[in-house]
Amino acid sequence: MTSKIKPSKGAPYARIMGVGGYRPTRVVPNEEILKHIDSSDEWIRSRSGIATRHWAGPDESVATMAVEASGKAIADAGIAPEQIGAVVVSTVSHFKQTPAIATEIAHLVGAGKPAAFDISAGCAGFGYGLTLAKGMVVEGSAEYVLVIGVERLSDLTDLEDRATAFLFGDGAGAVIVGPAKEPAIGPTVWGSEGDKSETIKQTLSWDVYRTTPKPGGDGPEERPTPEAIRYPAITQEGQAVFRWAVFEMAKVAQQALDAAGVSPDDLDVFIPHQANMRIIDSMVKTLKLPESVTVARDVETTGNTSAASIPLAMERLLATGQAKSGDTALVIGFGAGLVYAATVVTLP
């Protein structure tokens, strides 16, 4: 039977056209974290490589940070906001279940009436959003797509948790994905391992703050008041996550290189999720990357910003001249779920 549906008419390929980042003005050194946990600056640096992180102030919301980063990405891409056909926001720290923060951001950047939605893929969220954007551009449903990774993880940090109190930072990174005449975003290798979902998680679900009826329907049962419940935070099984990231994610990174037809010797830049310096260094060693490859180590001064970490690191490398337009970069994100996404891109 002959289909009556017309074929889609998009661009032959897609590319990252511009990038922007925003880091909150408040810089938090390890010394401030040590007021709450029994540890040392030396221990934090040796375990994570983190010296400082940025935490958002009252006026630096998920939306405002995302808008700042997006404005820079739009300007860098050289397009008008009205040309944006879709806005994809990856975040786990926008606390309203609905509406999606993407719709507010789309309005604030002046994008008109684009498709707009949020995704929750943790630290792999930028890779997921980038893959969706590439599909939209090639399929033809949007000519330009704004992809944002934004987090206020300070809102989900337990300052008394010695294993995680020093890890997380806030910030936003954004890119514009648009049409290209040659391949500039490679095939994505992505997936999940749900049997390990308990290794990184939120300590409590939001429904602990509700009162529930008694089984007999004769009034609410006794339940601790919200004030008596420790606020939900992100927790993780550090050693299990470290082993998974070091051993399994290097395999995924290699698969992304193979899928793109790129060897380690062809790479100019490596931008892994900025989770932990030891993980980054181990992946570099396992992948046998040449010394000529520039490696993003933004985690030292930015901390782990989850979905924002890759675009923030990309923006910094380009802004400081450590990477240049046209460089070939391997990017890989991995985290809660456990989920992951890796691809090879040409830098804007």
The catalytic residue positions are 123, 273, 304
Asked if residue 215 lies in contact with residue 138, where contact means CB atoms within 8 angstroms, the answer is: no
Residue 112 CA to residue 103 CA, distance in Å, equals 10
Q: In a 10 Å sphere around its CB, with 0-12 CB exposed, 13-18 middle and 19+ buried, how is residue 28 labelled?
A: middle
The token pair that represents 218 in the structure block: 């004769």
Residue 1 CA to residue 198 CA, distance in Å, equals 48
Listing DSSP states for 78-131 in one string gives T--GGGEEEEEEE-S----SSS-HHHHHHHHTT--S-EEEEE--GGGHHHHHHH
Q: Is 264 strand, coil or helix?
A: helix
Task: For residue 290, give every residue at least 6 positions away whose Cβ sits within 8 Å of its Cβ, in sequence order, or none.
Answer: 264, 265, 267
Query: Is there a cis peptide before residue 99, judged by omega within 30 degrees of 0?
Result: yes
Asked if residue 259 lies in contact with residue 189, where contact means CB atoms within 8 angstroms, the answer is: yes
Q: Residues for the chain: how many in total?
A: 348
Strands 189-192 and 328-335: unpaired
